[in-house]
A = this chain, B = another copy of it.
Amino acid sequence: MLETGGQLWSIGELAALCGVTVRTLHHYDRIGLFRATGRTGSGHRRYSEDDVRHLYRIRALRALGLSLEQVREVLASSPDDAGAVRQLLSAQLSALRNQAEQARRLQHQIQALLDNTGSTMPGVDHFISILEGMTMYEKYFTEEQRTELAQRRAELGPAAVDDAKATFARLVEEGLGYVSANTPVDDPAVLDFARRWDGLGSRFHSNDATKSAARSMWQDNSPELSARLPWPPDRLQELVTYLQRVRDAG
């Protein structure tokens, strides 16, 4: 049985030919992405030359970074609907751009971390301390890159973002002063400070202003690191804790 004429390959041969594993072909079979045109009487898969070409297309599309579902879409799309395919590839292109940029950012960050700690041969704690600072610093200053905030940014304009950065710097200096002086949490100046701090956060967040400031320093991913941290991270940590106490007192 099964005499279609022409070359037929077993699953192992096809796998070797196309540089995939047998398990991969089993997987594609199971999810219905790619099945052998035939089976022997005992159930062994037999692949035709068309199958080889089909698998090769799948691997080519996978090599572009598409998911198996996307591959299925492309191959299932009608032959003259190149528009949808172009759109999918464009989306993939921008996803790759983001990936590359993210990778570059992390490279710079790690490189800076290694450079920063290079000569002093510090302990792991110092390492992480620097890292914390870098991360915290970035997290705030690249706030404007978060997609969630895209709309509010548009409303405020880039000038407002720059202004917020400067304001944040001044606020941190002010807050560190209160922490250093161990100012009581019910001091009017501190309460006013906390209000302004939260206010800065709430200009960029739509959620609860009480938590936004602290939250803004940690959330999500982080972009390019071009500057160094002007404040020691431990102090920033203290400041955040201090602010938390102020809020609890208020």
Contacts and interface: CB of A to CB of B under 8 A. Distances in A.
A53 B132 CA distance: 9
Interface stretch (A26-34, A94-102, A194-202): A94-102
A64 B107 CA distance: 9
Interface string A210-227: 010011001111100000
Interface in A1-57: 7, 16-19, 49, 52-53, 56-57
Given A17-B218, A64-B110, A107-B100, A53 B92 contact: no
Contacts of A167: none
Interface in A233-248: 237, 241, 244-245, 248
A159 interface: no
A113 interface: yes
A57 B106 contact: no
A57 B125 CA distance: 10
Interface in A180-196: none
Of A60, A74, A106, A127, the most chain B CB neighbours within 10 A belong to: A60
A199 to B, nearest CB: 19
Contacts of A53: 237
Nearest to A74: B124
A220 to B, nearest CB: 6
Contacts of A97: 103, 107
Given A79-B124, A82-B117, A82-B127, A106 B64 contact: yes
A123 interface: yes
10 contacts: A49-B241, A59-B218, A74-B124, A75-B124, A79-B124, A82-B122, A82-B127, A85-B124, A96-B104, A99-B103
